[in-house]
Amino acid sequence: MSEQAGSVRPNPCGSKACRRLFGPVDSEQLSRDCDALMAGCIQEARERWNFDFVTETPLEGDFAWERVRGLGLPKLYLPTGPRRGR
């Protein structure tokens, strides 16, 4: 029993569970893949809703968008500070 305890290698992650089940991760490729997926989702939503979610502006199409100013909305839906893209 004591032989097994002495042969345990230290864990570089600092926790009890740390495994790379699928090999090393290329973080740059992962970032590019995530960016491409997000861009596709944004484009799909833009076409579906006729709204540019990046610049928060309505587009011409099937929907007639109009601004609604905090009419009893929960704080969750109200702006909290400066927004990106404006």
Per domain, the residue ranges of the chain are: 26-70
The predicted structure's pLDDT at residue 10: 65
* Long-range Cβ contact pairs of 53-59 (< 8 A, separation 24 or more): 54/85, 55/85, 55/86, 56/83, 56/85, 56/86
Q: Please compute the mean of the pLDDT values over residues 37-58 and round it to a whole number.
A: 95
> Which of 3-12, 26-35, 63-72 has the highest average model confidence (pLDDT)?
26-35
Q: What percent of the chain has pLDDT over 90?
A: 43
Residue 61 has pLDDT above 80, yes or no: yes
Domain 26-70 belongs to what topology? p27 (4.10.365)
